[in-house]
Amino acid sequence: MTWYTGFLIPVKAADKDRYIASAKAAWPLFEKYGALQQVETWGEDVPDGTHTSFPMAVKKEEDEVVVLSWIKWPDRATADACFATMESDPAWQAMDMPFDGKRMMWGGFAPIFES
């Protein structure tokens, strides 16, 4: 069954081009390990909330933008195998990560409806 890994990331607005370059550089690695699709979106209409919101979830700072991204996998096993290589494949270690990884959120999701 198809599997998705979702990410919510605070990125400094000034680092937008650097983030895009990093995402583009990551795609060949994700694809090598079986990813079917990678989608990166730059927040343009992401309101602050009173009780909860995307900005609150990542503790967004004034000069940051919320990025929502996801990777589509053929199944969970493929995704898990890919993420396991992040400690052993030196190509992952060489990646530029232009954001505060401590405030990045991620999770795996099984689809319940697709059209």
Q: Can you tell me the distance from the alpha carbon of 100 to that of 85, in angstroms, rounded to the nearest whole number?
A: 21
At 93, the pLDDT band (50, 70, 90 cuts) reads confident
31, part of any domain:
yes
Q: Is the pLDDT of residue 94 over 90?
A: no
Count of domains observed in the chain: 1
50, part of any domain:
yes
57, part of any domain:
yes
Residue range 9-35: mean pLDDT, rounded: 97
The CA-based angle 91-23-4, given to 5 degrees, is 95
Q: Which amino acid is at 93?
A: Q
83, part of any domain:
yes
Average pLDDT score, the chain: 96
Q: Can you tell me the distance from the alpha carbon of 70 to that of 81, in angstroms, rounded to the nearest whole number?
A: 17
Q: How many CB atoms lie within 10 A of CB 96?
A: 12
Q: Can you tell me the distance from the alpha carbon of 107 to that of 1, in angstroms, rounded to the nearest whole number?
A: 16
33, part of any domain:
yes
114, part of any domain:
no
60, part of any domain:
yes
Domain of residue 10 covers 3-109
CATH number at residue 24: 3.30.70.100
12, part of any domain:
yes
Q: How confident is the model over 61-81, as pLDDT tens digits?
A: 999 999 999 999 999 999 999
